[in-house]
């Protein structure tokens, strides 16, 4: 099993905002945050409306967001943000898990929170945050290479050559024209490392290189002879951002 590697920046604390309508729940999250040297509490609040005001005046890297809150739910609040910080959802109910992952949250924690799961989610957020920095640095330097672990060594790959990425439960398949690599990584973390102007998430299980598209027909994208499904809620965005901007025949 392989994983993508990149040189990560010096450890820095993620600035956290804790949002929950229950003060006791806030206290529990804050206590867990203080156990980790890569997190710090920047602010807390008891409603999404207050969180909106905080985001206007403070830099937040990571939100711990309760779903079930009065006036504006956590999911409604998250969906209303044009650009949201990394987000970990906290809730006593599992019914909203799929909806949360549609909004690309880092993780989903069930109440009462357990420190082991909290640590796993926070570590994932740290990796994603650092991956964004690496991606931005690579973009500035016009770097197109990444490394994946292969046994005891590392294999250099060129992201521009990736046709598409396929999600397979706990691992991913990187499809190239003449080979496939399997890596132990989440789709969200990989997408953070790849240039957003070149890759598009067409489905929960597929991330495609838009420069490798051969055709789009119905609910399918065709790449190198393979048919990939497009989610209904992603098709319009794909057409608007990729096709219509370059359409020469009406």
Residue 233: which CATH number? 2.40.50.1020
- 69 falls within a domain: yes
Task: Please give the tally of structural domains in the chain.
Answer: 2
Tell me: do 182 and 110 sit in the same domain.
no
CATH assignment of the domain containing 55: 3.40.50.2300
Tell me: do 33 and 124 sit in the same domain.
yes
Q: What is the pTM of this model?
A: 0.59
- 73 falls within a domain: yes
Q: Beta strands 226-229 and 199-203: pairing type? A: unpaired
- 51 falls within a domain: yes
What does the pLDDT look like over 202-219, one tens digit per residue? Answer: 998 999 999 999 999 999
| Domain membership of residue 91 as a residue range | 4-137
What does the pLDDT look like over 16-65, one tens digit per residue? Answer: 999 999 999 999 999 999 999 999 999 999 999 999 999 999 999 999 99
């Amino acid at each position: 099993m392989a994983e993508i590697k990149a040189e990560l920046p010096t450890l820095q604390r993620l600035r956290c905002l804790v949002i929950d309508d229950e003060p006791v729940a806030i206290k529990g999250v804050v206590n867990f945050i203080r156990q980790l040297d890569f997190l710090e509490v920047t602010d807390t609040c008891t409603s999404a409306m207050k969180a909106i005001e905080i985001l206007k005046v403070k830099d937040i890297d990571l939100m711990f967001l309760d779903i079930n809150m009065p006036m504006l739910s956590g999911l409604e609040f998250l969906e209303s943000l044009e650009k949201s910080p990394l987000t970990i959802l906290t809730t006593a109910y599992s019914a909203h898990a799929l909806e949360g992952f549609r909004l690309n949250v880092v993780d989903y924690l069930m109440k009462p929170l357990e420190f082991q799961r909290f640590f796993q989610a926070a570590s994932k957020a740290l990796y994603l945050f650092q991956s964004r920095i690496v991606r931005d640095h690579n973009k500035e330097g016009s770097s197109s290479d990444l490394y994946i672990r292969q046994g005891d060594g590392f294999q250099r790959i060129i992201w521009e050559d990736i046709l598409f990425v396929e999600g397979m439960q706990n691992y991913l398949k990187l499809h190239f024209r003449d080979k496939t690599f399997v890596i132990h990584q989440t789709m969200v973390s990989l997408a953070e490392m790849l240039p957003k102007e070149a890759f598009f998430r067409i489905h929960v299980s597929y991330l495609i290189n838009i420069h490798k598209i051969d055709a789009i027909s119905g609910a399918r994208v065709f790449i190198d002879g393979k048919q990939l499904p497009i989610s209904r809620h992603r098709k319009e965005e794909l057409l608007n951002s990729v096709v219509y901007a370059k359409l020469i025949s009406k």
